[in-house]
Amino acid sequence: MQHIYLQVKLEDECVRPETCPCYHHGKAYEPGKKIVVDCNTCVCKARKWSCTDIQCPRSCLTLGATNFLTFDGSHYTFGGGCRYVLAQDFCGTASGTFRIVMESVYCESHMAHCTKNLYVYYRGTEVEFTNGRPQIRKKSVSGADINLISSGSYYIMATSGGLSILWDKGTRVVVKLSPHYRVSLFCLLSYLNHNNHTCLLNLNECMIMTPS
């Protein structure tokens, strides 16, 4: 009995599917090759990627004076000169654990934003990132687990709850959250609702919010 094997066309040849490469960003990978996408590992198998399904941390970035990259990958420009909420996990009437308020500071010599001050409220503890260094202004009674680390030209705030903040003492800020924060959080003027749809707030209003 003659065996019939399924074949596909690869360039000018007919080959078996399991010998075909996989593609990522236009680059070909041979069967068995691995790539890393976010925090997941993908293996090429019969023309398709087989990937692990790990929920990855999400990041929100401020780049320069007016550029923002949100947790859902959206890019915005916003030149607000007031205090506004950069990120929080308070959603509607639900209680949260953190709120990060940002303030753009003008240079003395010319009308441009030279730095960003941060006011972080985490489980009852208040931390200010101002004048080139962070300071704990108020400690919670329960004692929130917060570590402030100086690393080169950066300061890092790390917590045991999956929130970390990197600040370059200027206009660059990176907020990283563990996967359990993925519902009911927003960055600047956008957030992911419970259906993972991006919702926009009023861009014409300057939000001034203080923790309840």
Is residue 137 within 8 Å of residue 211, measured between CB atoms? no
* Same-domain pairing of 92 and 175: yes
Q: How far is CA 179 from the centre of its chain?
A: 10
Asked if the structure places residue 89 within a domain, the reply is yes
* Same-domain pairing of 41 and 66: no
Tens-digit pLDDT profile for residues 101-150: 888 776 665 555 567 789 999 988 999 998 888 988 888 766 668 999 99
Asked if the structure places residue 36 within a domain, the reply is yes
**Across 69-83, 91-105, 140-154, 198-212, least confident range:** 198-212
Neighbours of 203 (CB within 10 A): 9
Asked if the structure places residue 98 within a domain, the reply is yes
pLDDT at 81: 63
* Same-domain pairing of 83 and 132: yes
Is residue 118 within 8 Å of residue 129, measured between CB atoms? yes
**Confidence band (pLDDT; 50, 70, 90) for 14?**
low
Asked if the structure places residue 139 within a domain, the reply is yes
* Same-domain pairing of 25 and 69: no
Asked if the structure places residue 210 within a domain, the reply is no
* Same-domain pairing of 84 and 186: yes
The structural domain count of the chain equals: 2
Tens-digit pLDDT profile for residues 154-189: 999 999 888 999 999 888 899 998 887 754 444 544
State the pTM of this model.
Answer: 0.69
Residue 25 belongs to what domain range? 8-51
Asked if the structure places residue 137 within a domain, the reply is yes
Q: What is the 3-state secondary structure (H, E, C) of 111-159?
A: CCEEEEEEEEEECCEEEEEECCEEEEEECCCCCCCEEEEEECCEEEEEE
Q: What does the pLDDT average to over 61-73?
A: 80
Top pLDDT among 212 and 186 is at 186
